[in-house]
Amino acid sequence: MNQFSLRNRIAFYYIAVTALLVAVLFFLVYFVVLDTVYTHLDTDLDAETHEIYSSLVVLNDTLIFANPSEWAEREHGKIEVNPTFIQVVDTLGHTIRKSSNLRDISLSLNTKIKDKIYFDNILSGSPVRQLQTSILNPGGKILGFLIIALPLEESEIVIKNLKLVLVITYPIVLIALFFISRLIAGKSISPINKVIITAERITNENLNERIELPRHKDEIHTLTQTINSLLDRLQDVVLREKQFTADASHELRTPLSIIKGTLEVLTRKQRDPQQYVEKINQVISEVDRMSLLVDQLLELARFESGKINPNLIQFDLKSSVQTIYQRLEKAFTNKNLILELTSEEKVFVTADPSMTEIILENILSNSIKYSFQDGTVSVKINREAEQTICEIADYGTGIPENQLPKIFDRFYRVDESRNSQIVGKGLGLAIVKRLADLQNIKLDVQSKVNGGTTFTIIFNS
């Protein structure tokens, strides 16, 4: 299976989104912990400042340490695990007092900054969190600065560890999620694989096989149903094609064997000229039938090839009917039929003129073929709103209602025995239907047995 299969793609998209979300989450965790640690330290620094302030007294702009004992206690800070470094500095930067844990080192001071500030600093190589604030007399004059520092080492270790854990877990979580999502995606699309396997198995030979419908009525169920109904339609087409080929070869073989048989009979012994003429005429009529059939088959193949595009132009439908009538006049006369044409002087339609003539000729010649002797064939052309309707009616044998839907099928003839005297192979209306479809022309047929048949051709212009 290809590297970037649907399954991998789903897992990949999922992981791309998850990677972003997890990164946001990890950053959030990191910054919340960082903020908490610093807030905690700064609160401690504030509490310390408050305590020192309470032990400081300002007298005549001089700082007096009111509670030396407490200060002394503070000086024991050096033995604490987390010592607090305290330093009081005058405005010139000279140290007035500092906690003994500072020994000979001093906390750095920025005399330019008057407000209270918190910042990270380094004290003899170790990180500290430092607070600097000015000491004011009641008049608001700066008398000195108080600097307090707390060791940062432990907090930094906590933050560093957290960072390490997050950085290591990030790819591990993503890799794990990728495989899990790949597994889930694989499971969710496994019914598709079933569809593929069955679909691959179906060939021309076993077109009746269908894909089993999945249990859940989801998208894959719909997909399977769609493929199955596509297979139904395909099978139908293939069966009809097979039937067509069988019918065509049968129809071609029959006259050929009649011709062969007739000629063989003639060659067997000497006959009188009368018999020769009779048999040769039979052969000619079979050849004529075959020639008509071959013409129709070729015509049908041409129109069904999909390579033919109708040349849609405006032309007068009435004069097309008249042209066809002239072509069929002999057939009309032979059966003593009259054509009644009801139409305005000119009725323009937009269609392919030669295709329309083939349609008209086929329907009109059927009307002649299936009319009774001495009858009438009527053609009415009407314009209705946006449509032009052409009705061709005869008063002949008619078609039984249940057979009406089939008459446009290839090689279909109503009651073969009854029609056997009438020339035709059941291809004319199949050609008509194909040409009508190509031009978007609608066809309708109404019929009554022994009452006649009316074909309606509806042009959408």
Query: What are the angstrom distances between the C-alpha of 375 and each of 160, 173, 342, 397, 448?
Result: 108, 91, 17, 12, 16
Quote the least distance from Cβ 433 to ligand ADP, whole Å.
9
Q: Read off the amino acid at residue 64.
A: I
* Residue 419 within binding range of ligand ADP, rule CB under 6 A: yes
Question: Which pair of structure tokens corresponds to residue 96?
Answer: 């007035």
For CA atoms 337, 420, 407, 325, the dihedral sign is negative
Find, among 284, 236, 233, 252, the residue nearest to 411 by Cα. Answer: 252
CB of 401 to ligand ADP, least distance (A): 12
Which 276-315 positions form the footprint of ligand ADP (CB under 6 A)? none
* Pairing relationship of beta strands 85-90 and 95-98 according to DSSP bridges: antiparallel
Name the one range near ligand ADP by CB under 6 A: 21-29, 177-185, 209-217, 425-433: 425-433
Nearest-angstrom CA–CA distance, 177 and 183 = 10
Nearer to ligand ADP, 220 or 379 (CB): 379
Cα Dmax for the chain? 164
Per CB under 6 A, 399 contacts ligand ADP: yes
- CB of 150 closer than 8 Å to CB of 126: no
Q: Which is nearer to ligand ADP, 26 or 332 (CB)?
A: 332
Measured from the CB of residue 244, what is the shortest distance to ligand ADP in angstroms? Answer: 13
Asked if 397 is part of the footprint of ligand ADP (rule: CB under 6 A), the reply reads: yes
Q: Find the helix or strand (DSSP H, E) in which 123 lies.
A: strand 117-123
Backbone angles phi, psi at 8, to 5 degrees: -65, -35
Residue 434 binds ligand ADP (CB under 6 A) = no
Name the segment binding ligand ADP (CB under 6 A); options: 85-93, 195-203, 231-239, 424-432.
424-432
436, 359 contact by CB (below 8 A):
yes
| 394 part of the interface to ligand ADP, by CB under 6 A | yes
Applying CB under 6 A, which part among 147-155, 227-235, 325-333, 394-402 lies near ligand ADP?
394-402
Binding map of ligand ADP across residues 435-454, x = CB under 6 A, - = no contact: ------------------x-
Question: Could you tell me if 431 and 412 are in contact, meaning their C-beta atoms sit under 8 angstroms apart?
Answer: no
What tokens does 330 get? 């002999």
Note whether 398 binds ligand ADP by CB under 6 A.
yes
Asked if residue 353 binds ligand ADP (CB under 6 A), the reply is: no
Contact of 117 with 160, CB cutoff 8 Å: no
Q: Is 428 a residue that touches ligand ADP (CB under 6 A)?
A: yes
Task: Using CB under 6 A, pick the residue from 366, 378, 388, 439 that binds ligand ADP.
Answer: 366
Q: Report 204-243 residues binding ligand ADP (CB under 6 A).
A: none
Rg (CA), the chain: 52
Give residue 25's Cα distance to chain centre: 34
Stretch touching ligand ADP by CB under 6 A, among 229-237, 241-249, 259-267, 406-414: 406-414
> What does the alpha-carbon distance between residue 148 and residue 99 come to, in Å, rounded to a whole number?
10
Burial of 427 (0-12, 13-18, 19+ CB in 10 A): buried
Interface residue with ligand ADP, options 102, 195, 364, 429 (CB under 6 A):
429
Asked if 63 interacts with ligand ADP (CB under 6 A), we say: no
Q: Which is nearer to ligand ADP, 102 or 435 (CB)?
A: 435
Is 424 one of the binding residues for ligand ADP (CB under 6 A)?
A: yes
| CB-nearest residue to ligand ADP | 424
Determine the interface stretch with ligand ADP among 207-215, 281-289, 301-309, 364-372 (rule: CB under 6 A): 364-372
Which residue ranges make up the site for ligand ADP (CB under 6 A)? 362, 366-367, 370, 394, 396-399, 407, 412-414, 419, 424-430, 453
